[in-house]
Structure 1
Amino acid sequence: MDLAQYLSVSESHLTLKTSPPPETDRAKTERLEIYKLLVEMSDRVSQRRQSANNFYLSVNTLLVGGSAYLGTLQPRALNVIVISVAGIAICAVWIINILSYKTLNQAKFKVINDLEQRLVEQPFHDEWGQLDPDLDGQRHRPFHQVERVVPWIFMAVYIAQSLAIIPWKAAAAYL
């Protein structure tokens, strides 16, 4: 460590420098490269998130269709209920996955935004200023708020399918 960057020494005085040493071009270049890497990594996380959502959407579409088809066969109740329970479980995992990606993205963008404060331009900060200038969520709703509704819709479909196969008149006779 070079103490000269923090101390000024003269014949009769020892002074602590209050301003940091000037930043080198190398440090600026490294910061910019790290910033670009972080932005690229966050984009990859978003791509993985979209791939995961596509997977869950496909599986649930298959299960809902399969459950509807099996509901036309005999015996139908057990088949539909088993598929519906599996679908609800998959939706629960999907919701956990969405929340996991949300926290991962929040952490990544916190690091990016913190690093961005030390750059000449702050494009992500500026973008959010345009998307939600009042910070009230009215003009722009974050993606996770929209995407987390989809698994709940599938759960409602599974529950409705299960309830639809119950012979309610026969069940009422036992009450």
Structure 2
Amino acid sequence: MAEISELLWNDGVGESAYREGAASYQSAVIEQYKLCVEMADRVAARRNLANTFFLTLNSALVAALGTWMSGAKPPEPPVLVLVAGLLVVLAVCTAWWFTVRSYRQLNWGKFKVIEALEERLPARAFVSAEWKILEEGRNWRVYTPLVHVERWVPVIFGVAYVLGFAALAW
């Protein structure tokens, strides 16, 4: 935490740098804190949009396959077509998994900055206290972070695709 604080705070800017002193300085810290919390919330919203996109894309692929398979006698595709299709859907699942991972890493950094900002506030409610109450997501009975669940969804789709395409090929 000390390293983040060293990166966060400007050495030459303190209460004395503000015309009205401490009150004005605290107001600036609070405004920056609010901005950081808002940006963390926006990242979560963008992550949800990305998940919705990938879930919709995968659902459309499954629906298209189901429609194709529901025909009276669907044509037998060559194995090469099946392998190519499998590689495409696995690439989509891989991109989804890395997107979830990237958003998780980005939010981790934002929450570390928010935690460092809370050092200068009267209460450290958002990151420090709340995260401790939730046992830092380590006890699934208390709190399971969404990212722990959502990172498995692309893996589950990928495994389902491999099994489905194997069944089609044989």
Aligned to 1:9: none
Aligned to 1:50: 48
Aligned to 1:64: 62
How far apart are 1:137 and its partner, in Å?
3.3
For the 8 Å contact 1:68–1:80, the answer to whether it is kept is no
Q: Distance in 1 between matches of 2:84 and 2:98?
A: 21
How far apart are 1:112 and its partner, in Å?
0.2
For the 8 Å contact 2:86–2:165, the answer to whether it is kept is yes
Q: Deviations over 1:11-62 (max 9, x none)?
A: xxxxxxxxx9786111100000000000011111100000000000000111
Aligned to 1:117: 119
Q: What amino acid maps onto 2:107 in structure 1?
A: N
Aligned to 2:95: 93
Q: What amino acid maps onto 1:113 in structure 2?
A: E
For the 8 Å contact 1:64–1:158, the answer to whether it is kept is no
Q: Deviations over 1:91-112 (max 9, x none)?
A: 0001111111011000000000
For the 8 Å contact 1:84–1:161, the answer to whether it is kept is no
Q: Sequence identity of aligned pairs in percent?
A: 33
For the 8 Å contact 2:138–2:144, the answer to whether it is kept is no
Q: Distance in 1 between matches of 2:68 and 2:105?
A: 38
How far apart are 1:77 and its partner, in Å?
4.7
How far apart are 1:161 and its partner, in Å?
1.2
How far apart are 1:162 and its partner, in Å?
0.8
Higher mean alpha-carbon deviation, 108-117 vs 83-92, is at: 83-92
How far apart are 1:132 and its partner, in Å?
1.2
Aligned to 2:35: 37
How far apart are 1:115 and its partner, in Å?
0.4
Aligned to 2:4: none
Q: Deviations over 1:53-77 (max 9, x none)?
A: 0000000111122223334520335
For the 8 Å contact 2:15–2:25, the answer to whether it is kept is no
* Structure 1 unpaired stretches of 5+: 1-19, 168-175
For the 8 Å contact 1:67–1:80, the answer to whether it is kept is no
* Structure 2 unpaired stretches of 5+: 1-13
How far apart are 1:136 and its partner, in Å?
3.5
How far apart are 1:141 and its partner, in Å?
2.2
Q: How does 1:1-40 map to 2 (within 5 A)?
A: 24-40=22-38
Aligned to 2:132: 129
Q: What amino acid maps onto 2:101 in structure 1?
A: L
Q: Distance in 2 between matches of 1:96 and 1:70?
A: 30
Question: How many residue pairs get matched?
Answer: 147
Q: CA RMSD, aligned part only?
A: 2.1
